[in-house]
Amino acid sequence: MIHVLIKGEIIMQQVSSKEKWSFGLGAFGQNMVFGLITFLLLVFYTDVLEVSAAFVGTLFLLVRIWDAVLDPVIAVVIDRVHTRWGRFRPFVLAGGILVSILTVLCFYAPDLSPEMKTVYLVVTYALWNTAYALFDVPYWSMAPAMTIDPVERTKVIAIGKMLGILGAVIASGASLPIVNAIGNGNAAKGYFWVAVIFGSICVLSSINLFRNTKEHHYEVKQEKESLKASLDVVLKNKPLLILTIASLFSGTTMVLKQTVTVYYIRYNLGNEGLFAAFSLSGMLLMLLAAGLMPKISAKLGKKNTYIAGGIIGIIGNILFYFGQPDQIVYLFVMNAVSMFSIGFSLVLTASMQADTIEYAQWKTGKRSESIITAVGTFAGKISTAIAGAAAGFGLTFFGYAPNVIQSAVTLNGINLMMSIFPVIGIAISVIIICFYDLTENKYAEIVENLNVK
């Protein structure tokens, strides 16, 4: 049983396994389309539509910054909306359907002039990011609304992250083989239909979440908060700010590595057939880490587990850099080790961020779940913006040209983006998280204080 606070009263509620797994399946569908965009949209633009990597890098940077800025605005809107279906579920449903349709449009190759083709991809990609913000912010705002118990909340988030990783596993491992199988030499056709398949799964998972989950824990606001008041909740939340800065670096690391993986397999290893096994091995280790994290963090504490995972990632990525193209098993293992560490940070970041909601309520008297969740998604979007731009600009800087044999400089540049660049990001993230001081004991005291009030 868990405590639920509504209008200052403590009510006992229980989050069922059905609700937890329905919430998790929402992340499964969400990450299938997000993974497809993250893993393959850059290579679809550069190698199928034959758009320059530098232009795509600029597009990713500008649109994803717009997406990040949009998150707090959507959060404020959500915090002002109350429906008979809850505050978050209707947005998750609408956002899931919209982002699925736009995923298909992003992977459609229109028969247009180069100028109009550029306009098409700019518009569709911008709309996709807008729809994704409408989907992502309310989705992760639901976890704090489902339970206030920190252990139970970690379990809910862990299930969401685990199934989200599983969706990303399928997106990374199965998407390219499906593209080749359906396309049968016609890459544009293959990309389009894999987007249709993954988008359909996302729609079904969003409908399932809407039908089978409830928002047990929420605070009914007596008056609408201004944007300034909502931002004040964030600026006075020291643990949230520290966690957000740390996640900017760790998130950029993860997305950059995922984005350039297909280039590494295709050109550095020279065997595109390895893409599925390479991606799956790494993502499965990430999934394992996400599953183990609740038990490990319960013993070591969330902060210490985060630091330990970062150290593992640093070691794995450094060793990966020195691997040779003919050392396939070695490269698979080192990549898997580096991805194992990412599994820790994914779940821990979301769980630690959720804990800062009660900290904000204790500090300011306002919960503002959506705006706090939006800060996390804002960091994630900025990370993807930086990583996407870094991948595009990096490929151009190192002399990449599509569908040809790459120079030694280009191959080394791709390897750097797969390994050493992530080492730098992880190291900075670990240093920053050392200043995070919302311990488990302090959080328990805050919740007890709130219950007394």
Interatomic CA distance for residues 383 and 385, integer angstroms: 5
Interatomic CA distance for residues 429 and 434, integer angstroms: 9
Q: Which residue type occupies 246?
A: A
Contact (CB, 8 A) for 236 and 368:
no
Contact (CB, 8 A) for 103 and 37:
yes
Structure tokens at 384: 């993807």
pLDDT of amino acid 226? 61
Contact (CB, 8 A) for 95 and 132:
yes
- Max distance between CA atoms of the chain, in angstroms, equals 67
Cβ partners under 8 Å of residue 117, min gap 6: 49, 51, 110
pLDDT tens, N- to C-terminus, the chain (453 residues): 334 444 444 344 567 888 888 998 999 999 999 989 988 898 899 889 989 888 998 998 899 888 878 877 787 777 777 777 888 889 999 999 999 999 999 999 998 888 898 999 999 999 999 999 888 888 877 877 777 776 677 777 778 888 887 888 788 778 888 998 999 889 999 999 999 999 999 999 999 999 888 877 655 444 555 656 667 778 888 999 999 999 999 989 888 998 899 899 999 999 988 988 898 888 788 878 877 887 888 888 999 999 999 999 999 999 999 999 999 999 999 999 998 888 888 778 888 888 888 888 888 777 777 678 778 777 888 888 899 889 999 999 999 998 889 999 999 999 999 999 999 999 999 999 999 988 888 888 888 887 775
What Cα–Cα distance (Å) separates residue 47 from each residue in 85, 320, 321?
Answer: 44, 26, 25
Interatomic CA distance for residues 371 and 218, integer angstroms: 14
What is 204-259 written as a DSSP string? HHHHHHHHH---------SSPPPHHHHHHHHHT-HHHHHHHHHHHHHHHHHHHHHH
What domains can you pick out in the chain, each with its CATH number? 14-217+226-452 (1.20.1250.20)
Interatomic CA distance for residues 254 and 352, integer angstroms: 19
What is 309-361 written as a DSSP string? HHHHHHHHHHHHHT--TT-HHHHHHHHHHHHHHHHHHHHHHHHHHHHHHHHHH
Contact (CB, 8 A) for 259 and 387:
yes
pLDDT of amino acid 325? 93
Interatomic CA distance for residues 395 and 206, integer angstroms: 36
Structure tokens at 3: 């405590």
Contact (CB, 8 A) for 187 and 289:
no
pLDDT of amino acid 3? 43
Contact (CB, 8 A) for 362 and 320:
no
Angle at 350 between CA 345 and CA 356, to 5 degrees: 120
pLDDT of amino acid 5? 44
Contact (CB, 8 A) for 353 and 372:
yes
Helix (H, G, I), strand (E, B) or coil at 184: coil
Angle at 164 between CA 213 and CA 382, to 5 degrees: 110
Residue 360 C-alpha from the chain's centroid: 23
